[in-house]
Amino acid sequence: MPVQWVLLLSTFLFSVGVYGVLSRRNAVIVLMSIEVMLNAVNLNLVAFNTMLPSQRPVGQIFALFVIAIAAAELGVGLAIVLLVYRNRATVSINELNLMKW
């Protein structure tokens, strides 16, 4: 299976993630979209690993790192969203404009 197919899939996933991050109002969905983008990156890492001359699974290990960090990141992100919800009774990103001018 050529690498290109995998890369195309990865691109598609990344684009979906970007779209989700930029367009959805729900903070939880935004976090999920970020996960999608991270997975697209993981896929890329694994795919490019096949192109390396050495047979050691460097890409896979890197992907594992990313998954672990993504889990931690998601934990923190969901905790923030939970606290925002408790304080403001909403998880809509449009309402969260405290950084406004």
Residues near other proteins, by CB under 8 A: 18, 21-23, 30, 93-94, 96-101
Please, what is the minimum distance in Å from the beta carbon of residue 23 to other proteins?
A: 8
Taking the complex as a whole, the smallest distance from the CB of residue 97 to other proteins amounts, in Å, to 3
Q: Which is nearer to other proteins, 60 or 92 (CB)?
A: 92
Q: Which two tokens stand for residue 101?
A: 């001018």
Contacts 24+ apart (CB under 8 A), 92-101: 92/25, 92/26, 92/27, 93/24, 93/25, 93/26, 93/27, 93/30, 94/25, 96/27
Residue placing its CB nearer to other proteins in the complex, 28 or 93: 93
CB of 100 to other proteins, least distance (A): 3
- 6 versus 21: smaller Cβ distance to other proteins: 21
| Cβ atoms 8, 44 nearer than 8 A | no
Q: How far apart are CA 33 and CA 38, in angstroms?
A: 9
